[in-house]
Amino acid sequence: MSVQERFAQYLEEEIHCQPGDRILLAVSGGKDSVLMAHLFAQSAYSIGVAHCNFNLRGAESDADELLVNRLARQLDVPFYTTTFDTEAYAEAHGVSIQMAARDLRYEWLETIRASQSYDHIAVGQHQNDHLETLLLHLVRGTGLRGLRGIQSRRGHIIRPLLFLTSDEVASEVAKQGLEYRDDASNFSTKYVRNKIRLEVIPKLKELNPSLERTMAANMAHFTDAYVVLQRYLAALRDRLLVQKQVSGDEEWHIPIAELAALDPQRFLLYELFRPYGFSEAVLDDLAAALPGISGKQFFSPSHVLYLDRRVVIMRRNEVLTNDVATIHRAGEAVYWGGRRFESGWTADTVIRTNPNVAQFDADRLVFPLQIRSWHTADAFHPLGMNGRKKLSDFFVSLKVPLYRKHQVPVVVNGNGDIIWVACYRIDNRYKITAETKKVFTLARL
């Protein structure tokens, strides 16, 4: 079977491209992407060619751009190009030159794809890139996910040359007599990936001349194992993560006994909570704390785990704020803690039971009202309780966990009185009575 036939088969069976798909080709000018462009030109797909000039090699970079422009004209397809100050971007964002080039490239390619209505972005990575990625992950440390190497399709990005080795690419380019340009930086071992390509892989090939094929097969097995694991973990999450609505907020309760019984615990804990951003170190601390004393908290950038008596509670990690939202008049909407609060007047004195809506005797209010988080010395007169109560004691009586206390909106009257501990209780002094003529409502959405 010819390379062109294998290419068509790979696109159809592995990447699942459809006839009529419009594909934007990322072409650097190197042999891999040039071959990809010619293979696509001989296929039934509608294509365009895109090239990034990173301004890293002076006249050499400009020559790359000219070659790709010439190729697009030869193939009679649309050509898109852009120029970046890659070094300035890398310095401004504190990343390596390689990472800067990658970020700039993919962001720009996606802009062109979306604006010009392409279905996919094709990049010319092959089996050796696949192998290098695996070895790079192993050197730096990886889980099963990293053992999959490069995926043939991820979002709008497709990699249609993963069925070819670098030797096969070079052979086909020579056979077709294709013009291309080598990037001298690809032969410098100052980059880790290049060191793997130029020094490590040749040594491994002394042990197995068919290393690329063997490792591609291994990565296919790792990918299958990863799929099986994800199905098991999805079922495990459905069973263990019990979703609840508490005071209008979403949280998940996970039985401590079930977490303690996981085997192998460390691996399954990490995989179970990985979608929520928890690091292995944090989950090691959680495992060491089970069953432990209530009150301990474990954070990821997006979520928090709170150790309670029989369950671990997971919530979104809302940023604690010292901000104060001010309501100057009825009808005004404000935001606090990421939630919208709407207010208004009404003559309707029928009492609502929605915990997210508070009703007050309007004549007792003094504007402006404020919404803030609780303070240690806060106290109010909870509706249904006798007398004045410190807010800290009120939270304890309702068994409000420590992590949730700081996320509770406290609404304060203009005279300094707390009138609503939002979603829990209004102040008895400001309730609707038989004498109430006008009602002020405040709703947390």
pLDDT per residue as tens digits for the range 212-222: 999 999 999 99
Confidence of residue 320 (pLDDT cuts 50, 70, 90): low
**Residue-range definition of the domain harbouring residue 20:** 3-222
Report whether pLDDT(268) > 90: yes
Rg (CA), the chain: 31
For 98, the token pair is 């390689």
Last residue of a domain, one of 316, 349, 373: 316
- Report residue 170's pLDDT band, with 50, 70 and 90 as the boundaries: very high
**Does residue 309 share a domain with residue 333?**
no
**Closest among 52, 53, 49, 43 to 72, alpha carbons compared:** 49
The neighbour count for residue 361, using CB atoms within 10 Å, is 19
Q: What is the mean pLDDT of residues 305-333?
A: 82
Distance between CA 236 and CA 405 in Å, rounded? 30
CA distance 307 to 196: 44
Q: What is the pLDDT of residue 316?
A: 81
Cβ atoms of residues 119 and 23 within 8 Å: yes
pLDDT band of 4, cuts 50, 70, 90:
very high
> If you search the block for the tokens 């990575």, which residue do you land on?
125
Residue 121 per-residue DSSP state: E
Q: Which residue has the tokens 């730096």?
A: 140
Claim to verify: residue 218 and residue 159 sit in the same structural domain: yes
Specify if 160 maps to a domain: yes
Q: What percent of the chain has pLDDT over 90?
A: 64
Per the CB < 8 A criterion, the answer to whether 306 and 282 are in contact is: no
What integer is the mean pLDDT of 206-232?
93
The CATH number for 257's domain is 3.30.465
Look at residue 318 in the predicted model and tell me its pLDDT.
62
Residue 251 lies in a domain: yes
Looking at the structure, tell me whether residues 275 and 376 fall in a common domain. no
- Span 307-336, mean pLDDT? 82
218/83 same-domain check: yes
pLDDT at 319 over 60: no
Within this chain, do residues 261 and 278 fall inside the same structural domain, yes or no? yes
The pLDDT value given to residue 247: 61
**How many structural domains are present in the chain?**
3
How far are the Cα atoms of 134, 236, 276, 277, 295 from residue 280, in angstroms, in the given order?
21, 19, 12, 10, 20
Interval 396-411 mean pLDDT: 81
Give which of 293, 243, 239 is closest to 262, Cα–Cα.
Answer: 239
222, 253, 282 — which closes off a domain?
Answer: 222
The reported pLDDT for the residue numbered 407 is 78
**Domain CATH for 156:** 3.40.50.620
CA atoms within 13 A on the CB side of 11: 24
Give the lowest-confidence range in 11-25, 145-159, 329-343.
329-343
Tens digit of each residue's pLDDT (9 = 90 or more) over 120-129: 999 999 999 9
Query: What is the pLDDT at residue 250?
Result: 81
Around Cβ 115, how many Cβ atoms within 10 Å? 9
Same domain, 295 and 337: no
Environment class of residue 22 by beta-carbon count within 10 Å: exposed (0-12), middle (13-18) or buried (19+)? middle
One domain for residues 193 and 246: no
pLDDT (0 to 100) of residue 185: 72
Strand order in the sheet with 369-372: 325-327, 369-372, 410-412, 418-421, 425-426
The answer to whether 433 touches 426, Cβ cutoff 8 Å, is no
Whether residue 232 lies inside any domain: the answer is no
**Same domain (yes/no): 301, 364:** no
pLDDT of residue 183: 76
* Residue in 243, 301, 242, 231 with CA at minimum distance from that of residue 271: 231
Residues 388 and 410 in one domain: yes
Binning pLDDT at 50, 70 and 90, where does residue 332 land?
Answer: confident
> Is 13 found in the same domain as 142?
yes
Compute the distance between CA of residue 166 and CA of residue 35 in angstroms, rounded to an integer.
11
- 380/387 Cα distance (integer angstroms): 8
The answer as to whether 281 is a domain residue is: yes
Taking 3-state DSSP, the helix, strand and coil percentages for the chain, each rounded to the nearest 5, stand at 45, 20, 35
Residue 233 placed within a domain:
no
For residues 107 and 47, state if they share a domain: yes
**CATH assignment at residue 401:** 3.50.40.10
Higher pLDDT, 222 or 350: 222
Mean pLDDT of the chain: 90
pLDDT tops 70 at residue 159: yes
Query: DSSP string of 344-390?
Result: EEES--PPP--TTEEEEEGGG--SSEEEE---TT-EE-BTTSSS-EE
Is the backbone peptide bond immediately before 355 cis, with ω within 30 degrees of 0? Answer: no
- What average pLDDT score do residues 58-66 get? 92
pLDDT of residue 322: 62
User: Which has the minimum average pLDDT: 19-28, 33-42, 163-172, 342-351?
Assistant: 342-351
Residue with tokens 């249609």: 160
Residue 228 domain flag: no
Most confident of 48-52, 84-88, 151-155, 344-348: 48-52
Specify if 79 maps to a domain.
Answer: yes
C-beta of residue 279 within 8 angstroms of C-beta of residue 266: no
- The reply to whether 10 and 62 lie within a common domain is yes
Alpha-carbon dihedral angle through residues 287, 293, 299, 304, given to the nearest 10 degrees = 110
Whether residue 321 is predicted with pLDDT greater than 60 in this model: the reply is no
What percentage of residues in the chain have a pLDDT greater than 70?
97
Please check the confidence at residue 397 and state whether its pLDDT lies above 70.
yes
- C-alpha span between 342 and 86 (Å, rounded): 47
Indicate the pTM of the whole model.
0.67
| Least confident range of 167-176, 238-247, 381-390 | 238-247
Q: What is the DSSP letter of 25?
A: E
Per-residue pLDDT at 425: 93
Which of 222, 251, 272 is the C-terminal boundary of a domain? 222
